[in-house]
Amino acid sequence: METNIKKRKLGKSGLEVSALGLGCMGMSFGYGPAHDKKQMIALIRKAFELGVTFFDTAEIYGPLTNEELVGEALAPFRDQVVIATKFGFKAAAEGERHWSALDSHPEHIKTVVEGSLKRLQTDVIDLYYQHRVDPDVPIEEVAGAVKDLIQAGKVKHFGLSEAGAQTIRRAHAVQPVTALQSEYSLWWREPEQEIIPTLEELGIGFVPFSPLGKGFLTGKIDESTSFDSTDFRNVVPRFTPENRKANQALVELLGKVAQKKSATPAQVALSWLLAQKPWIVPIPGTTKLHRLEENIAAASIELSSEDVQEIDTAFAAIQVQGARYPEQMQKRIDR
């Protein structure tokens, strides 16, 4: 298998990463029970062997255990990879496993960075994202706190996640933002309206999470698929059986394009994202080696402008059914 993934720069920051990263959340959290640690370490190391140099985790994944996993897996070649993690939640209570409340106060950020550094077995975090915008803390204060961490040598680059255009501008004015991480895929295209033009103007990279629609665009999920009781998709409106049935039209369309390209639906969905802008770096997550190899191979599939136009025209005729988040979570998204 081809192991030489092209590199991309995240905006004007100079931070260079593989054109596809690896989202590590699902190894510990979110999509059912945590997977075997040894197997996941082997998978992360295999990703590196295959050319992936960009790995994504967060304090809240687990909580805490995903950072430990990523830190241990990447320790042997730490200086050859870019590790991104996130801050911005506080534990609901000591010893409790459920994290819910936001906390991006500067003193909190400066405390929790120490835990992330320790778990990641490193002395510097390459890219440190605010996980969600905290309405109680001016974004200028958040950017200022990360700026202090950069000056102290604990962080290299500042990122935001699910932030709105005005928030991005305000943060960028205090400490240049290297990357925005938000959901973006063929079935969630809202960022095209305001976010992508803002990032282009400011020279900020874009890191789409859930680039395969939380697995739906792979074509391996239908109305009869059942998820583990701990799987987050059970509460996502877009994943009700009736909406899954209605949204199959998307997958069928991807399948037609994939046949022409001798590719899979997932590969077409990823290469479509890569074709949008040269500073977009999707981070598909997986716990399976064959899926990892399939995703990585998408980086070498070239879609022409005609291919992209054909996909866009066909998708424009399909109405995606169901909200992307439950109402409570949707309220957390910065506009």
The residues that are catalytic are 61
Q: Which residues, in sequence order, are CB contacts of 174 under 8 Å at separation 6+?
A: 139, 140, 143, 144, 147
Q: Which residues, in sequence order, are CB contacts of 15 under 8 Å at separation 6+?
A: 9, 82, 126, 127, 156, 157, 178, 179, 205
CA 19 → CA 206, 284, 332, distances in Å?
A: 11, 11, 29
Whole-angstrom Cα distance, residue 86 to residue 159?
Answer: 9
Please say whether the beta carbons of 172 and 198 come within 8 A: no
**How many Cβ atoms sit within 10 Å of the Cβ of residue 168?**
22
Whole-angstrom Cα distance, residue 269 to residue 184?
Answer: 11
